[in-house]
Amino acid sequence: MPQARPFQNDDRQRVLDASDIVRLVGEHVQLRPKGREFVCVCPFHDDHKPSMYVVPSKQIYHCFSCGAGGNALDFVINYFKMDFREALKFLADRAGVELTPWNPRPDAANAAQGDSESRSTRAQLFDAAAFAHDFFRTILRHAEHGAVARETVQKRAIAPQMVEEFGIGAAPDRWDGLERTIASKNMDPAPFLALGLLKRRERETGMYDALRHRLIFPIHDQIGRVIGFGGRKMRDEDEPKYLNSPESALFDKGKNLYALHLARKAIQDTKTAIITEGYTDVIACHQAGVRNVVATLGTSLTRDHARQLERLCDTVVLLFDADEAGQRAADRAIEIFFNAPIDVKMCVLPGGKDPDELLKQEGGAERFREALAGAMDALDFRFARLRQRAAGEGMSSVAKLVENDAQRLVELGLLNLEPIRKRRVVRRLATIAGVTESDIEQTLRRHASRSASRPARVGENDATDPDAAPTGSARAGLGVIPNGPGEQALGALLADPTLFHDLRDDEVGALEAHRFTHPACAEVAQTLLAMLHAGDDCAATSLLAAMPSANARTGAGELMMRAELPCEGDRARRLKTLRDCLARLDVAAARATATDSNARFQALLEAHARHGRMPTAVPRPASTPP
């Protein structure tokens, strides 16, 4: 019997019953209906074509490319990098389910801390970030310490609703405001040091606040948890203008976008994301009613940023300054999105102003929307800049410019683009160079050949990026799950457990765990048969919740999906298919266990007889004359 058995009334099952996986996944990934299921770009690997299915009837998801799969809890654990308790609480809060108070045994708590110190630290970091956020918001409201910050908010015309919605706060003009508050609560300063909110003095004992006399903008993750802070100066002599939290176990500026938790729904509804460069620009846009706006966090756009937005929308509009630095940033952003399956547009606001400046002017909101409506396609923008650089140059200089650009486009994956997009790029390059399209294609092939023979540099592309999500079933340590008759039968029962009641004892025996060489399949078989024999609830959520390991849950999801997607026709047909699989499995087992040809002959006859059919060809026993 498996160690993990379903509990009909435990917290996990109540939370799963209250969670709609289609709604959950759809809040973070753009879903498209496909028959009875939904498909989407998989968020667990660098997926460009929808390879993940979400099945509402089973309340499961599964990616046929990288093998990721499971139930709502598995999605939250893997997508948000939460541990089990964090994920359970997140889903419970989301569904309005009250959890049973959790009081772990001391030995279990110590074991958990020893096994995963990082998880314990993450929980402490989230608590510290939330405490600091409350402190900064309290300071903003303080009659004395928040006076200058409130004047700054008013001067920048940030509405009280935006102050509340974005959680804006203030750091006091002193070295020990946060530090003394932490000490007065007898709190451990270690998480605050890890977040970079406190710093140790170099030549004397003690600590001091990293953020002082600044307007504070909290930085949230996708589900609204505070993970870091940005501080804007309020005195001209203070430098730098903006000071962000250092990167930590919670905060990676290359993987997070400012205000995505607030903009996500609007991005999905409009199928468009607008990216700008500053906190106040984002707030000004939201205040003007343009809610699908986010910002980078003091860094250039990264491939991780692009992946997040690809899952949510079809179009990205990049808002950058008209100066040379802004144009360079725009070029880098276009390259990041070059190979992405979404449309990218460039928007330079009139007068070279940033959104915050423009929206404060008379009629600024209307001019802002007009500029967005007239945004230029990113490829047109890129080639317009290339044409400007080539203007007035000699033939050799133009040829060198086009050669360099062609090489860069090959490195970005031009040859892997869809034919229509690729043809468009080739045509533009040919026009600028004043040559034929075949000449450009020959140039691209030459650069592709050179790139193939050159050793790849780490970080050059996703395939060599040490932080890139691994692909294939090896992601979960599964290896490749076989697709033999035993696995097919197991999948059929997982997809429709009611078929179990029509099977004979000898047919059920063919599914015993020892028949499976793959460890995940063996766990699935053992758990499934135990539940069926006990008469337990075998709904898909219960089945997955009962699996004794993450590998077993992922394996069960894959087997279930294999059986679910082609499963058409009436119940009698599904039962016949299941019995055929079990018969083939029984015959294969008889063949494998026989010690000699006579025993094999007899075992095969008995196996075929059990399933009501005669073999079309069996080996003769050794004692039978020809």
| Model confidence, pTM | 0.73
- What integer pLDDT is reported at residue 499 of this predicted model? 84
- What integer pLDDT is reported at residue 607 of this predicted model? 56
Beta strand 169-171 with 52-55 is: unpaired
483-493 in b/e form (b: 16+ CB < 10 A) is ebbbbbbbbbb
Question: Which amino acid is located at 404 in the chain?
Answer: N
Q: Which residue has the tokens 């007009």?
A: 370
The rounded distance, in Å, linking the Cα atoms of 89 and 10 is: 13
Contact 531, 546 (CB under 8 A): yes
3-class SS string, 456-524: CCCCCCHHHCCCCCCCCHHHHCCCCCCCCHHHHHHHHHHHCHHHHHHCCHHHHHCCCHHHCCCHHHHHH
The rounded distance, in Å, linking the Cα atoms of 272 and 281 is: 17
- 293 C-beta neighbours (distance < 10 Å), count: 26
Q: Which tokens in the block code for residue 359? A: 């929206």
- What integer pLDDT is reported at residue 596 of this predicted model? 56
- pLDDT tens figures, 235-275: 988 888 999 999 999 999 999 999 999 999 999 999 999 99
- What integer pLDDT is reported at residue 594 of this predicted model? 52
7-22 in b/e form (b: 16+ CB < 10 A) is eeeebbbbbbbebebb
The rounded distance, in Å, linking the Cα atoms of 28 and 268 is: 9
- What integer pLDDT is reported at residue 118 of this predicted model? 44
Question: Which amino acid is located at 622 in the chain?
Answer: A
- The CA–CA distances, whole Å, from 24 to 45, 56, 60, 83, 206 equal 19, 11, 11, 17, 45
The rounded distance, in Å, linking the Cα atoms of 555 and 523 is: 9
- Angle at which helix 571-593 crosses helix 597-610, to 10 degrees, equals 160
What residues of the chain score a pLDDT lower than 50? 1-9, 107-120, 455-477, 566-568, 614-618, 620, 624-626
- pLDDT tens figures, 67-106: 888 899 999 999 988 888 889 999 999 999 988 876 655 5
The rounded distance, in Å, linking the Cα atoms of 103 and 330 is: 52
Q: Which residue has the tokens 């729904």?
A: 265
Neighbour order of strands in the sheet with 69-70: 32-34, 37-40, 52-55, 60-63, 69-70
The rounded distance, in Å, linking the Cα atoms of 54 and 68 is: 11
DSSP summary character for residue 8: T
The rounded distance, in Å, linking the Cα atoms of 142 and 30 is: 43
Neighbour order of strands in the sheet with 376-377: 293-295, 272-276, 315-319, 343-347, 376-377
Contact 294, 282 (CB under 8 A): yes
610 Cβ partners below 8 Å, 6+ apart?
A: 506, 586
Query: Among 457, 45, 43, 468, which Cα is nearest to 254's?
Result: 468
The rounded distance, in Å, linking the Cα atoms of 240 and 238 is: 6
- 89 C-beta neighbours (distance < 10 Å), count: 17
